[in-house]
């Protein structure tokens, strides 16, 4: 299959390109600038420098494709995530950018459109498993409103006769994810506390497993699917498992009342309990995560990084904590 990837240089994009190439697909990916173009080619895909907000340029870029994947996200450093302005470009990519891609895909007769979304859109579910029909709640947070709005582009594509697929991902982690390296650094330096009891469930997905889910989505019916590991853990376990895996001190605990001050609007959804089920995607595709939970995944990442690689990166932080695509 000929596949166009919008956002192939991010964490999810890179993992997806690798999975697609391994399966024998022909892949073309957006990449702005020489460094990112070289990265895409090193992954085995064709690189195209395209402004994803230019309708004519987008249509030229996807011409001849049988599937279009919107995996575009741009997030700033963790130190700036509480600033609402950090999310502006991601919101635009998830809404206006998605709209342009769907317009182009419909015009070019593309058969499949895959739309990256996140599981943070679910309302607090307590200890219950959350399937794709669980209630949504934007929490009066702009990034979640934009995320839910953007998902409608996949439904529009389906109404036009194609297969529009939304993938709601848990929190990404992996050895090549800048956000993971930042998280590890913060935990090692005891700068990421446990806020309150942290008994809420947090659903995650190992980046290579996420990429294989994107590949699997090319052959499934239209609709919405959760992409997360098999065994979500409480956020307290998420932090403490990570600390043990990297040999870091136990995270200290601060009162839950400080959550809003530490995380800003992110606290409105990061404090929710999201025990997200991946059963539907597994049922229709045969996909399943190789890493079942962060309880084992953090050790996998620590081994992949190795002490030398991580220490070199850690010494340069926060100088390296600039805007990044994830």
* Topology of the domain comprising 2-325: Rossmann fold (3.40.50)
Residue ranges covered by each domain of the chain: 2-325
**In the chain, at which residue ranges do the beta strands (DSSP E only) sit?**
2-6, 26-30, 46-48, 67-70, 74-75, 112-118, 129-130, 163-169, 171-173, 194-195, 201-202, 204-206, 223-227, 233-234, 253-254, 275-276, 324-325
Tens of pLDDT, residue by residue over 76-99, are 666 666 666 777 888 999 999 999
Q: What pLDDT score was predicted for residue 317?
A: 57
Backbone angles phi, psi at 125, to 5 degrees: -110, 5
Dig out the tokens for 209 from the structure.
């497993």
Could you list the mean pLDDT of each consecutive 10-residue stretch along the chain, which spans 326 residues?
96 97 98 94 96 97 98 73 73 95 98 98 98 97 96 98 98 93 92 96 98 98 98 97 95 95 91 98 97 96 82 56 41
Q: What is the pLDDT at residue 101? A: 98
Question: DSSP labels for 290-318?
Answer: SS--HHHHHHHHHHHHHHHHHHHHHHHTT
Provide the pLDDT for residue 79.
Answer: 61
Rounded CA gap, 281 and 154, in Å? 17
Cis amide bond preceding 20, omega within 30: no
């Amino acid at each position: 299959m000929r596949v166009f990837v919008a956002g192939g240089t991010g964490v999810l994009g890179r993992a997806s390109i690798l999975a697609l190439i391994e399966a024998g697909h022909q892949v073309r990916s957006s990449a702005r600038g020489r460094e990112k173009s070289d990265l895409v080619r090193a992954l085995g895909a064709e690189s195209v420098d395209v402004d994803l907000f230019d309708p004519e340029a987008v249509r030229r870029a996807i011409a001849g494709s049988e599937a279009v994947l919107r995996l575009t996200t741009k997030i700033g450093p963790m130190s700036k995530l509480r600033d609402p302005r950090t999310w502006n470009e991601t919101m635009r990519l998830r809404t206006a950018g998605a709209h342009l891609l769907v317009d182009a895909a419909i015009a070019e007769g593309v058969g499949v459109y895959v739309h990256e979304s996140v599981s943070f859109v679910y309302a607090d579910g307590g200890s219950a498993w959350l399937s794709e029909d669980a209630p949504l709640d934007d929490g009066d947070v702009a990034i979640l409103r934009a995320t839910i709005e953007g998902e409608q582009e996949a439904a529009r594509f389906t109404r036009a006769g194609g297969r529009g697929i939304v993938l709601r991902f848990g929190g990404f982690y992996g050895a090549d994810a800048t956000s993971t390296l930042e998280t590890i650094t913060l935990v090692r330096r005891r700068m990421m506390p446990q806020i309150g009891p942290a008994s809420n469930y947090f659903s995650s997905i190992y980046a290579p497993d996420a990429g294989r889910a994107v590949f699997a989505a090319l052959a499934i019916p239209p609709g919405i699917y959760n992409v997360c590991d098999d065994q979500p853990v409480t956020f307290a376990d998420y932090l403490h498992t990570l600390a043990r895996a990297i040999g870091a001190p136990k995270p200290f605990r601060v009162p839950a009342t400080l959550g809003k001050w530490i995380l800003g609007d992110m606290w409105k959804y990061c404090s929710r309990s999201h025990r997200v089920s991946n059963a539907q995607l597994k049922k229709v595709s045969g996909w399943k995560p190789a890493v079942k939970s962060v309880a084992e995944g953090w050790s996998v990442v620590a081994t992949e990084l190795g002490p030398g690689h991580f220490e070199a990166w850690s010494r340069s932080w926060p100088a390296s904590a600039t805007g990044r695509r994830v």
